[in-house]
Amino acid sequence: TSPQIGIYGLGTMGAALALNMAEKGIAIAVSNRSAKGVADFMDRAGPLAERVSASDDLSALVQALPQPRTLLAMIPSTGPMDALLDDLIPLLSPGDTVIDAGNADFHDTRRRTHRLAEHDLHFVGMGVSGGENGARNGPSMMVGGSDHSWRHLRPVVEAIAARYNGAPCVAHLGPDGAGHFVKTVHNGIEYADMQMIAEVYDLMRNGMGQEPAQIGQHFARWNDGPLGSYLFEITGTLLQAADPKTGKPMVDVITDSAGQKGTGRWTVIEAIKLGQSANMIEAAVAGRAWSAERAVRQDADATFGAARNPIDLDAARLEPALLAARVLEYAQGFRILAAASTEYDWQLDPGTIARIWRAGCIIRAKTLDDIAQAFDDGPPHGELLLSSRFSEVLDRGIPALRKVVGQAVLAGHPVPVLSAALAWFDTMRQGRGTASVIQAQRDFFGRHGFGRVDAEGVFHGPWWG
């Protein structure tokens, strides 16, 4: 049988996706920049190699595929992707599709979509989540691009996707950059959830005097309840791990500077460009940036001393507080998606997005099933915050979160994401806010004018005589 899809780029993720496909009975063609990568892949494929046709160069890979071709590239979505397209365009035929399965900036995806369209070629930006293990055994995939490409790609990705109650965690979410944008926001939520976990770890470790392994047990227990999620599960495990070299808790020997490849930052940049703010995600990106300033922090510690005073907090309060914060961070992510959908005319369906995030991806969490149902109900203003499905979680969780944040602030433990959650919630719950003061100031210094609560039109204050 001729191959259904080609894979170019047999690094960790590309090889894992290719093996997943072959295992699901899909005939594939593969190639890689270096011939050694191809040979290594064929060795790893073992008995699955019979479903793989291997090519040492790009034109042989293209030739191996029946038209219209579907070719998935798993290479850096930056310069190398543009260089690959330079090479591919003359080799392809009208109707062929190239898929970028990496973490691309969706602006690049839109640009590449237009570039390929000039040659009657299709470009698909596809977000893939779940790391190597997910790619090998069932990722969550967020697909953009044309209906034509989706028709050809769909059987392949539905076969390899993670499943939630039998439903594959993959969908065609919208045209051009929609898939990569949704993946970017997925990562923004990922950043917020990870930072929130680190903040709770700080409170328990330095405020409540618990050891990492004990804290890990709390996460493992929470993972069995409504907070069940991949990130809680792995945190439960990794906090209980010891360093084989020193015997110390593993988290104590890892440097305290977090890396970042850009997707969290892109989420914030795009949110702000769309006139939105996702302050929990902003706080998480800030947390990573501050973590990188290690030398400054060490000097500041010597000058001021870390204020990590004991706190009086019952671990039982943390669970409802964390659940409320989690709902709020997802709510913020979905607001950005809604704003982008309007701006780029993508017609994103938030219920579908929540459903394909229920398994396979890094932010998979029990809450997502409720979130999907809440969006299917059509909450007021499309806002998760206002869905009756979460009123109990918020009624119970917000007072607990207030107690947690209050204690943290008084004792000097930084909780940028948890406090951002409260700041947002407490702002949004005010039917009458305080921006009248800002409007008065703007009018005072710049004659910008303001609206009145009791009349239509633009007015000025008495300060203008």
Which residues are near ligand 6PG by CB under 6 A?
A: 103, 129-131, 187, 190, 259-261, 263-264, 361-362
Please say which residue, 21 or 142, places its beta carbon nearer to ligand 6PG.
142
Half-sphere exposure of 11 (CA within 13 A, CB side): 11
- Could you tell me the two tokens for 75? 């290479």
- Could you tell me the two tokens for 147? 């209906």
278 - beta bridge partners?
A: none
Please say which residue, 229 or 263, places its beta carbon nearer to ligand 6PG.
263
Q: For residue 205, give the DSSP letter.
A: I
Please say which residue, 142 or 313, places its beta carbon nearer to ligand 6PG.
142
Reported as type and span, the H/E element at residue 330 is: helix 315-344
Of residues 82, 178, 101, the one with CA closest to residue 139: 101
Strands 167-168 and 163-164: antiparallel
- Report the distance separating Cα 41 and Cα 30, nearest Å: 9
- Catalytic pick among 158, 190, 245, 366: 190
- Cβ atoms of 87 and 26 closer than 8 Å: no
3-state helix, strand, coil in the chain (%, to 5): 60, 10, 30
Q: Minimum Å distance from CB 361 to ligand 6PG?
A: 6
Please say which residue, 190 or 370, places its beta carbon nearer to ligand 6PG.
190
Q: Minimum Å distance from CB 264 to ligand 6PG?
A: 6
Task: Give strand ranges (E) for 169-279.
Answer: 170-172
Give the other-Cβ count within 10 Å of 359's Cβ.
22
Q: Minimum Å distance from CB 281 to ligand 6PG?
A: 12
Q: State yes or no: is 190 an active-site residue.
A: yes
Using Cβ positions, the residue closest to ligand 6PG within the complex turns out to be 129
Please say which residue, 68 or 131, places its beta carbon nearer to ligand 6PG.
131
Q: For residue 66, give the DSSP letter.
A: P
Overall size of the chain counted in residues: 465
CA angle 1, 141, 169 (to 5 degrees): 95
- Catalytic pick among 36, 118, 183, 383: 183
Q: Minimum Å distance from CB 196 to ligand 6PG?
A: 15
Q: Minimum Å distance from CB 366 to ligand 6PG?
A: 18
Provide the greatest CA pair distance for the chain: 86
Please say which residue, 61 or 371, places its beta carbon nearer to ligand 6PG.
371
**Residue labelled with tokens 């059987």:** 155
Q: State yes or no: is 329 an active-site residue.
A: no
Reported as type and span, the H/E element at residue 420 is: helix 416-428
- Report the distance separating Cα 101 and Cα 72, nearest Å: 7
Q: Minimum Å distance from CB 337 to ligand 6PG?
A: 16
Amino acid type, 261: K
100 - beta bridge partners?
A: 73, 125
142 - beta bridge partners?
A: 127, 171
Please say which residue, 214 or 260, places its beta carbon nearer to ligand 6PG.
260
- Could you tell me the two tokens for 250? 């593993």
- Report the distance separating Cα 360 and Cα 230, nearest Å: 9
Angle between helices 416-428 and 178-202 (to 10 degrees): 110
Please say which residue, 361 or 398, places its beta carbon nearer to ligand 6PG.
361
Q: Minimum Å distance from CB 463 to ligand 6PG?
A: 48
Q: Tell me which residues are annotated as active site.
A: 183, 190
